[in-house]
Amino acid sequence: MINVVLTGIGGQGTVLAAKILAQAAQNRGYHVRTAETIGMSQRGGSVVSHVRMGNGGERVASPLVSNGQADILIAFEPGEAARVLPLLKKDGVLVTASRVVQPVTASLSKTLYEATPVIEALQAREGKTVVVDEAPLLEEVGNPKALNIILLTVAMGCGVLGLTQDEFRQAVSECLKPRFVEMNLKAIDIVNERLGLV
Amino acid sequence: MTTRLLMGNEAFAHAALEAGVRVVAGYPGTPSSEVVETVAKLHAAGSAKGVHVEWSTNEKAALELLAGASYAGARTLFTCKQMGLNVASDALLSLNYVGVEGGCVLFVADDPGPISSQTEQDTRRFADFAKVPVLDPANVEQGMDMMGEAFALSERYRTPVIVRSTTRVSHSSTFADVADETQAMQPAGFTKDDSRFVIFPARARRGHVEINERLAWISREASGDAGDWETPNGGRPGDLSRFNPVCQHGEDPKLGIVCGGVSTEYAREALAMLAQAGELPAYRFMQVGVPFPFPDQAADVFCEGLEQIFVCEELDCVIEDAFRRLMGDRAIEGKPVARVMGRKSGDAPSVGENTSDDLRARLARFLGVEDPAADGEGFDTASVAVPPRPPVLCAGCPHRGSFYAAKRALKKMKLRGVFHGDIGCYTLGNAKPLDAVDTCLCMGAGITMAQGMGVADPEAKHLAFVGDSTFFASGMTGVANAVYNQHDITICVLDNSTTAMTGGQPHPGTGAMLMGPQTESLTIEGVLGALGVESVQIANPHDLQESIDAITRAVSFEGPSAVIFRAPCVNLFRSAQKAHIDGETCTGCKRCITSIGCPAIGYNGKVAVIDPAQCNGCGLCTQVCPFDAITVGGAE
C-alpha cells in the first residue's frame, strides 16, 4: 500500500493533484481510493486530500490514511504540513512549499506567523524533508496556479510514489483540460531541470 | 462502458441513470450536492437521455414534485443532506402512506463530525420513524449497487426507499465502470385511482397496514429469506442479503463485530492491521447495510454462539439498539444472549466520526490482543505555534462589506443591534473581526427569529441576514409573517447570484435552470414588494457609504424593512484588479485588518501587505484605511 497525504488551503489545488496520482495508480492497475475535504473548509480553511494505492494488488478499504501510515506528505504551505504531520510515517518523506499564507487569525494576533521557525522545526525531523523554494519556479512557469504540479514533480523525484516519469506525465495529460496540458508538462520539465531531479 | 475516477456522489448519479431514473430533483447541501450536479452534467453532455433534472426551490418542493412524477410511473430520485430531509418530511411521511408507483429513491447524505452541518442527525433513525426502508453503503461500489437495487425495491413494495450515505462515502473516490449512455425509462402515465392516490383517514388506515406488512417482508428480504409471497406490485420477492454480508475468522467464535456504513471499512482496515501484528482469536463479522427494517432473522443467526458483540457505527446507536432488542427477544425465548457493546454502552465514542485508528485500539481491546499503534510524526507545537486556519469569507466576498456596513451604521446611530444569521457562506460573518452573526439556527430561521427576539427584547434593533438562495428556499414565509404581524425588523438579503457555500448552484433568482434555456428570474425586490415590505433599499456592498446609508434608512423605518446587498460571488466573477498598499504611507495601524479581516491582507511586523494571489480587488479596504494608503489598480 502506498499512502499519500496532500494538504494545503482551500483553493490551492490539492484536489487536482490527488486526482493525478489516483489516475497514474489506476493506469498501473492498482486499486485506488481517495478522499477530499469538500464544503465549508474549502473557504480558505485547512484542507487534506488522501490517496491510497494498493500497489501489492490489494484492495483498499478505508479511503482515509491512518496516523503514522503516510509514505509521503505533500504540503502546499509549511504550517499546514505541521498540522497533519501525525499522519506521516516517522521515516516518511515530507515535501513542503516554503511560503507561509497568513490566516486572518495570524494577522489579528500580536505574534507574527513566519516561515523560518516552522520550516526549521520541520527540518529537525528524522525522515527526509524537502523544502521547495517555489517562488522562482512559479515565476519561470508563469502561472501561480502551478504550485500543485511543481510539488508533485518534486514528490516524483523523491522516488516513493512508485511511478515512472512517463506514467506521471501520462496522468497529467489525462486529468487536465487539454488547453492546460502543455503548460503543465513544461512546468514538469522546468522543475526537473532547475532542481536537477531527473 | 468506461472506467472513470468517480466521487461517491458522482458514482451514485451514474447508478441512478443506469437504473433508468426519469426525474431528478433536490436542494443543494454538503455532502449531497454532486449527485444532481452530475446528472445535470451528463444530461448537458447528451449522454443521459430522457432525464429531467432540476434544483427545486427547497427539499419539500423537490419531493412533492417527485411524488407526482412517481404516481405517473416515473422512476424518481430525490437528493438532500440530513437536515434537508426535515424540510421534506411533511411530504415523505404522507407519501409513505399513499405509496408510490414508479420507483422513488431518496438519496440523503449524513455528515458525521459534523464537518459541514449544524447537527449529527442520523437518517437511519429518521427512516425508522418514517417507516421507510433505508440502505447504508460502506463504500462507493456498494452504494452504486444499492442505488440500482433501491429503485427495484421501491417498485416491488410501492414504498419510498432511502439510500443514506455519509461524507466519507460521498466524498471519497474510486474507479468505477459506468455506461457511456443511459436512457430514462418511459413512464406509463397517471391512472386515476382514488383508492390509492387521495389520502383520507380511511386510506391512511389501510396505508398503515400496507406499510407494516411490507416492512416485515423487506426485513425477510434483508435476511435472505427466499420466501414465496406476492409483492404489492404483483411481483416476486427479491434478495437484499448481499447488503448484510457475514464472514468469519477461525472456528466457533465467541466474539462478534457488527458494522454500519463507512465504519465497516475502518474496521476491516483495523482488523487487517491487527492481523499483521499477530494471531487474532476467532470472530464473526457482519455489515448491516439494511439498518431498517432490521434483518432480524440474519442477525439472530449471526448471534449464535457469540458471547460479546462490538458495534462500529457513527451518529446514533441504531444497530446497537437493534441488537439489544434482539437480545431481549432471545432472552424471552430462552436462547443464550451476548453482551452488546458500542456507543450507548460507553465502549465507543458517543459522538463524532469514527477512525481506523480509534477502532483498531478498541477492537484490539475487544479481541484481547496488543494494539500495534503506529505513532506518526509529531510537531513540537510548544516551540513553534502554527495559527489555526478556520474557513473565512473569501477575499473580495461581498458579504464582508454588507456586515461591516451594518455594524458601522448601527454604531453611528448609537443603536444596539442583534444580527440574526442563517445557513450559507455568510455564517462565516461570525468570525472575528467582523463578529457580525449573533444567532444561527436553520435554513430561513434568521428572519423569523429576529421577529421573536424583537418581541422579547424590543430595546435592540433586529437585523436578519439571509442569502439569496436561502431567501427563496425558506425565507419568504418569514417575510410574510413579519408583514402580517407587523414586526419591526430589517431583512438584509445578501444577493450574490448563487448558492455559494455548496459550490455555486443556480436558484430561482438567477433564472438559470439545470436544463433548457435561461428563464425570467424571480427578483428579490419584486417578492419583497409583493409580500408587502414597504421599505426596500438596494445597495452595492463594495460601496461602504452607500451600504451604510441603505442600512440607516431601513433600520429607521418603522415596520418590516429590507436591504438587498447585491454583488456577485467572487467565485462567479473575479476582478483582474488588485489592491496595493503604499508602504510609505501605511502607518501599520492595522485598521484594515482589525475592521474587515480580509484573508488577502497580512501584516509584516511594520506595515500591512496585500497578497496579490488572493486579492480580488473589491476595494473595501481602500474605504476603511484612515490614511488613504491603499489603492486599487489594474492587474500586475
Angle B523-B525-B529 from CA coordinates, rounded to 5°: 120
All residues at 6 or more sequence positions from B45 whose CB lies less than 8 Å from its CB, including other chains: none
Q: How far is B264 from chain A (nearest CA, A)?
A: 9
- Is B171–A62 a contact, with Cβ atoms under 8 angstroms apart? no
Count Cβ atoms below 10 Å from residue B307 Cβ, excluding itself: 13
Q: Say which of B266, B389, B604 has its CB closest to residue A103.
A: B389
Q: Say which of A9, A10, A121 has its CB closest to residue B379.
A: A121
Q: How far is B560 from chain A (nearest CA, A)?
A: 31
All residues at 6 or more sequence positions from B160 whose CB lies less than 8 Å from its CB, including other chains: B92, B95, B96, B100, B104, B105, B106, B132, B154
User: Fold for domain A2-195?
Assistant: Pyruvate-ferredoxin Oxidoreductase; domain 3 (3.40.920)
Q: Locate all alpha helices (DSSP H) within B223-289, ordered by sequence.
A: 263-277
On whether the CB atoms of residues B600 and B579 are closer than 8 A, the answer is: yes
Question: In the structure grid, which three cell numbers stand for residue A179, read together?
Answer: 488547453
Which pLDDT belongs to residue B635? 47
Q: Which residues of B touch A88 (CB under 8 A)?
A: 376-377
Could you say which residues from 144 to 173 on chain A have a Cβ atom under 8 Å away from some Cβ of chain B?
144
A181 CB within 8 Å of a chain B CB: no
DSSP notation for B377-442: ----TTTSPPPP----PPTT-HHHHHHHHHHHHHHHTT--EEEE--SSGGGGGGSTTT----B--S
> Which of the 8 DSSP states describes residue B471?
I
Q: How far is B77 from chain A (nearest CA, A)?
A: 23
- Is B375–A39 a contact, with Cβ atoms under 8 angstroms apart? no
Q: How far is B266 from chain A (nearest CA, A)?
A: 5
d(CA B151, CA B106): 10
- Is B376–A88 a contact, with Cβ atoms under 8 angstroms apart? yes
Strand partners, B249: B283
Could you say which residues from 79 to 108 on chain A have a Cβ atom under 8 Å away from some Cβ of chain B?
79-80, 82-83, 85-90, 92, 94, 101-108
User: If you average pLDDT over residues A71-82, what whole number do you get?
Assistant: 97
Report which of B592, B531, B521 is spatially closest to residue B561, judged by C-alpha positions: B531
Q: Say which of B7, B268, B387 has its CB closest to residue A113.
A: B387
A9 CB within 8 Å of a chain B CB: yes
- The superfamily (CATH) of domain B398-513+520-566 is Thiamin diphosphate (ThDP)-binding fold, Pyr/PP domains (3.40.50.970)
CA distances in angstroms from A63 to A37, A59, A94, B275, B309, listed in the order given = 12, 11, 21, 20, 25
CATH architecture for the domain at B2-222: 3-Layer(aba) Sandwich (3.40)
CA distances in angstroms from A8 to A69, B142, B461, B523, B570, listed in the order given = 19, 31, 41, 39, 20
What tens digit of pLDDT does each residue of B274-318 get? 999 999 999 999 999 999 999 999 999 999 999 999 999 999 999
- Is A34–B173 a contact, with Cβ atoms under 8 angstroms apart? yes
> For B540-634, where are the E strands, in sequence order?
561-566, 578-581, 601-603, 608-610, 630-633
Chains A and B form CB pairs within 8 A to the count of 202
Low-confidence spans in chain B with pLDDT less than 70: 634-636
> Which of the 8 DSSP states describes residue B499?
B
Which pLDDT belongs to residue B106? 98
Which pLDDT belongs to residue A41? 67
- Is B172–A34 a contact, with Cβ atoms under 8 angstroms apart? yes
Query: How would you classify residue B131: left for phi > 0, otherwise alpha for psi between -120 and 50, otherwise beta?
Result: left
Q: How far is B407 from chain A (nearest CA, A)?
A: 19
Interface test with A, best of B10, B172, B259, B389 (most A CBs within 10 A): B389
On whether the CB atoms of residues A25 and A32 are closer than 8 A, the answer is: yes
Query: Terminal CA-to-CA distance of chain B, rounded, Å?
Result: 47
Phi, psi of B489 (to 5 degrees): -125, 165
> For chain A, where are the E strands, in sequence order?
2-9, 31-35, 46-54, 70-75, 88-97, 129-132
On whether the CB atoms of residues B391 and B425 are closer than 8 A, the answer is: no
- Is A85–B379 a contact, with Cβ atoms under 8 angstroms apart? yes
Strand partners, B384: none
d(CA B506, CA B514): 8
Interface test with B, best of A3, A38, A52, A69 (most B CBs within 10 A): A38
Query: Terminal CA-to-CA distance of chain A, rounded, Å?
Result: 25
d(CA A138, CA A157): 18
Q: Which residues of A touch B616 (CB under 8 A)?
A: none
Question: In the structure grid, which three cell numbers stand for residue B567, read together?
Answer: 454583488
Which pLDDT belongs to residue B636? 44
What tens digit of pLDDT does each residue of B328-361 get? 999 999 999 999 999 999 999 999 999 999 999 9
d(CA B66, CA A102): 47
- Is A107–B602 a contact, with Cβ atoms under 8 angstroms apart? yes
Q: Say which of B31, B168, B174 has its CB closest to residue A64.
A: B168
Dihedral sign from CA coordinates of B593, B595, B599, B600: negative
Q: Mean pLDDT of all residues in chain B?
A: 96
H-helix or E-strand spanning residue B591: helix B591-596
What tens digit of pLDDT does each residue of B211-245 get? 999 999 999 999 999 788 999 999 999 999 999 99
User: Fold for domain B244-367?
Assistant: Rossmann fold (3.40.50)
Phi, psi of B26 (to 5 degrees): -175, -175
Per domain, the residue ranges of chain B are 2-222, 244-367, 398-513+520-566, 578-633
Per domain, the residue ranges of chain A are 2-195
Confidence of residue A148 (pLDDT cuts 50, 70, 90): very high
- Is A103–B428 a contact, with Cβ atoms under 8 angstroms apart? no
d(CA B506, CA A100): 35
CA atoms within 13 A on the CB side of A65: 32
Q: Which residues of A touch B377 (CB under 8 A)?
A: 68, 85-86, 88-90, 92, 94, 125, 127
DSSP notation for B249-263: ESSS-SEEEEE-TTH
Q: How far is B508 from chain A (nearest CA, A)?
A: 22
Residue with cell 397496514: B209
Count Cβ atoms below 10 Å from residue B341 Cβ, excluding itself: 19
What tens digit of pLDDT does each residue of B541-589 get? 999 999 999 999 999 999 999 999 999 999 888 888 999 999 999 999 9
Dihedral sign from CA coordinates of B145, B146, B148, B153: positive
A29 CB within 8 Å of a chain B CB: no
Q: How far is B217 from chain A (nearest CA, A)?
A: 32
Question: In the structure grid, which three cell numbers stand for residue B386, read together?
Answer: 502554527
On whether the CB atoms of residues B362 and B341 are closer than 8 A, the answer is: no
Q: Say which of A70, A94, A112 has its CB closest to residue B605.
A: A112
Asked if pLDDT for residue A174 goes beyond 70, the answer is yes
Which pLDDT belongs to residue A154? 97
> For B130-220, where are the E strands, in sequence order?
134-135, 161-166, 172-178, 182-183
All residues at 6 or more sequence positions from B150 whose CB lies less than 8 Å from its CB, including other chains: B103, B105, B135, B161, B163
User: Fold for domain B578-633?
Assistant: Alpha-Beta Plaits (3.30.70)
DSSP notation for B315-347: SS-HHHHHHHHHHHHHHHTT----EEESTTTTS
Q: pTM of the full predicted structure?
A: 0.96
Q: Which residues of B touch A61 (CB under 8 A)?
A: 265-266, 268-269, 272
